[in-house]
Amino acid sequence: MTNINKFQERQISKYSSSKKGSSNGFLSGYGWVDVSVTLRSGMVHWPGDPEVKIERMLKIESDDDCNVSTIFMSSHTGTHIDSPYHFVKSGVGVQDIPLSAVIGEARVIEIVDTESIKPDELRLHRIRRGERILFKTINSERCWKSDKFVEDFVYISTDSLEYLVDRKVRTIGVDYLSVGGYNKNINQVHRVLLKAGIWIIEGLDLSGVKKGYYELICLPIKIEKGDGAPARAVMRPYKRRWLHK
């Protein structure tokens, strides 16, 4: 019989308990929370973008040797990163994203306003230079429950742009498919933030996390000259003093 030390026993026990009743499996055993949206055929997408189709081209049940799928969708589907090249002609693509933009301390800020994220509410949170800010709104509880696009999602108001740029925020994350409002200020919000060097994470599901400080990992697929790319985002809470010793 294989010898297993006490440390390995604890790891196996933690892994086993994490798999019970949790879709996050092993990650949840270490405090990680998956804040990504699961990609699937027919899921909600931005109006005008192609419908999401994930189809098997090879199937084991059809006597093929393995399962192989094709994926057809916009690069801005589900949880994804926007690169500057999305709205800035000379901007860098997603393949050149600095890892510091999507790995490290992040703060979840709960937004009370059910229309948009406005500067008066932002000032209450005293956002600091270089922060990674994730806005949790009613979108997380409301919008992801439907495969139909929700037009009146909470977005970043035009009046908030100057404040966010002045604070030199490193990264902004939102809990639906765009930082800008549908048929409102989508182009302006993207251009101002991306020109200022602020990286954008869209399509987060923050329903499972509370306001506060977290360790964030959100890595996009590395696509050459990518205007955007799907990403897997995970977070875990911690005490901030651990980071600033």
104/236 Cα distance (integer angstroms)? 11
Distances (CA, A) of 208 to 16, 32, 35, 51, 115: 21, 11, 7, 27, 21
**Token pair for 176:** 């639906």
Active-site entry in 86, 125, 190, 244: 86
Active-site residue flag, 244: no
- Which burial class, exposed, middle or buried, applies to 182 when counting CB atoms under 10 A from its CB (0-12, 13-18, 19+)? middle
If you write DSSP's letter for every residue of 153-164 in order, what string do you get?
A: --EE-GGGHHHH
Q: What is the dihedral of CA 202, 207, 208, 212, to 10 degrees?
A: 70
User: End-to-end distance of the chain based on CA atoms, in angstroms?
Assistant: 44
| Backbone dihedral angles phi then psi of residue 186, each to the nearest 5 degrees | -60, -45
Annotated catalytic sites, by residue?
A: 86
